[in-house]
Amino acid sequence: MPYFRALLIMLATLGLIQSSIAQEAREVPQNRAQVQLSYAPVVQKASPAVVNVYATKMTVQRDSMFDDPFFQRFFGDDSPFFERRPRKSQSLGSGVVVKSDGTILTNFHVVDGADDIRVSFADGREYHTELLLADKKTDLAVLRIKDAGGEQFRALEFADSEELLVGDLVLAIGNPFGVGQTVTSGIVSALARTGVGVSDFQFFIQTDAAINPGNSGGALVDMDGRLVGINTAIFSRSGGSNGIGFAIPSSMAQFILNAAQNGGDLVRPWLGARLQAVTGDIARSIGLPRNRGALVTEIYPKGPADKAGLQSGDVILMLDDRMVEDPEAFDFRLSTKPVGGEANLLVLRRGQEVELRMPLEEVDHDAEIRQITVKGNSRFTGAVLVQLNGYYRDELDLPANLEGVLVLQVQRGSPAQRIGLRPGDVIRSLNGERNMTLARFQELVGEGARGWRLTIQRGNRVINSFVSG
């Protein structure tokens, strides 16, 4: 019996030794034959840089019944019954430390409108942060830890998201449902996904790694523990993960980070042209073997496309060394380029490939800044107007040759609203004068005429009307 007991002890000890050796020998899977190995080294490298984000917003509310005119008639709007009480709401998300000084990337929708933003690490450390940059168009935001006292934080290195391939292994790290830091594994199930509707730049990494509410802003990492994307959305009918999640590519995240570090001025280059997808019929008619590229349909005068020599009917095939599969891919790739310098375009023109060089310029924002609000005794009082330019043609998808004065806003209950003006209207002519400028509009409105004949472009409709003086 003592011999048998000693043998059991020896076997148990040997088992412990083997278990210890197995833990030390863990490594990242390098090929298909090694997929049974552990992801722990990747998690240990990446997870300390992923944080929980708590965004607190204070709102002022009152009982909706006191908005009823009946109660206001008897009590008055300044009655103590109408006292507005602050209400605290909190959103939960995730973030990724990308600089050792405590600079963090997260989603715009996680921190939108927040009065106070805190982050906490998996080890329990918690810090207040300042918002450096918030960009709704990309659904990205940049935070920085306040009062860190010179502390250095574990940060994730960026990977080149352009090098990703469908089938690559990835890990998603975040705080789903507020249960605490969680790691899920999967593969890149698709690239360059569009039509997700989360941001203006539709070019997402799709993954089957489980992503749930609370994962927004968290890290999607490769097998080297590098950041390939910021988790941002899921496709779900139930609210939980159905195996289809989306991440913003690291190339876009790095562009937003660079903008935040350069003072927070987010400047993107623009094309100055309108594009459309290449359909099967179009591809066959121009000799393309498959549907790819971005078809140029209109050129804005004096814009970068015009300066580069692009023409209507050209199909953009490449931007620098990157293939252009569709207009969304072109917009995404162009938006990550720094302003200044030039970009190389490869286009198909009447069956021949042509190389062009396009200046990388920001849109002319002068017209956007020179806006007026009509005041005083005028039928147009309450309208906020701006000169139509390439920026607004792009934003509102208006024809390149459309000229006039754009109605940006109309104050509620104002004379401008009563005569029927709406935001988005383009006043093409006033009293027969076409190519209306903002300065000339002010002159004509201030002349005190008996009336004004208006030609307005509203979407695809042209409206002619008369406004009495």
The span from the CA of 7 to the CA of 256, in Å, is: 63
Identify whether 216 is a catalytic site residue.
yes
365 is catalytic: no
Which of 47, 91, 109, 331 is flagged as catalytic? 109
Catalytic residue among 47, 91, 161, 216: 216
Annotated catalytic residue 320: no
Tell me the one-letter amino acid at 428. Answer: R
Active-site hit among 91, 135, 139, 331: 139
- The three state secondary structure string of the chain is CHHHHHHHHHHHHHHHHHHHHHHHCCCCCCCHHHCCCCCHHHHHHHHHHEEEEEEEEEEEECCHHHHCHHHHHHHCCCCHHHCCEEEEEEEEEEEEEEECCCEEEECHHHHCCCCEEEEECCCCCEEEEEEEEEECCCCEEEEEECCCCCCCCCCCCECCHHHCCCCCEEEEEECHHHCCCEEEEEEEEEEEECCCCCCCCCCEEEECCCCCCCCCCCEEECCCCCEEEEEEEECCCCCCCCCCEEEEEHHHHHHHHHHHHCCCCCCCECCCEEEEECCHHHHHHHCCCCCCCEEEEEECCCCHHHHHCCCCCCEEEEECCEECCCHHHHHHHHHCCCCCCEEEEEEEECCEEEEEEEECCECCCHHHHCEEECCCCCCCCCEEEEECCHHHHHHHCCCCCCCCEEEEEECCCCHHHHCCCCCCCEEEEECCECCCCHHHHHHHHCCCCCEEEEEEEECCEEEEEEEEC
How are beta strands 383-387 and 371-373 bridged, if at all?
antiparallel
- Determine the Cα–Cα distance for residues 271 and 304; give it in Å rounded to an integer: 6
Q: Which residue numbers are catalytic? A: 109, 139, 216
